[in-house]
Amino acid sequence: MVVSNSINQMYEEMKSWRQDLHSIPEIGLEEYETSKYIKSKLSEFNIEMDKSGGGNIIQAAAAGIEVALLTTCFGLIVGIPAFMAFNYFSSVINGFVLHRSI
């Protein structure tokens, strides 16, 4: 496969990225050196960064993840009862149809 071959060709480089990132001990949503490293790698690949935020990448991602988790939670709160109601009404209708066909 083309993708597998290109990944295999970049294996050593990706391994060095992992080792570089693990050599930067940062915790607590204050990953400034990690953010600089990721920004430099993205710029090597000619990927534009949004510089308007001013914060680091981890904080920006955390905000997005929070929104995604809340959206998922509310979707489940609405979806599960709707699914249960659908199954109930489907069984009632199927029972009615089966009873009428006998």
Amino acid at the residue 64: G
Give the model confidence (pLDDT) of 53-84 as tens digits: 556 667 777 777 888 898 999 999 999 999 99
Please tell me the predicted confidence (pLDDT) of residue 88. 94
Give the model confidence (pLDDT) of 17-57 as tens digits: 888 888 887 776 677 788 788 888 888 888 776 665 556 66
Please tell me the predicted confidence (pLDDT) of residue 65. 85
Are the C-beta atoms of 68 and 58 separated by less than 8 Å? no
Domain count, the chain: 1
SS3 48: coil
Residue-by-residue DSSP string for 11-24: HHHHHHHHHHHHTS
Residue 25's alpha-carbon distances to 21, 37, 64, 71, 102, in angstroms, are 8, 13, 24, 32, 72
Please tell me the predicted confidence (pLDDT) of residue 12. 86
Geometric angle at alpha carbon 77, from 71 and 82, rounded to 5°: 120
**pTM for the full predicted model:** 0.42
Please tell me the predicted confidence (pLDDT) of residue 37. 85
**Residue range of the domain that includes 49:** 2-101
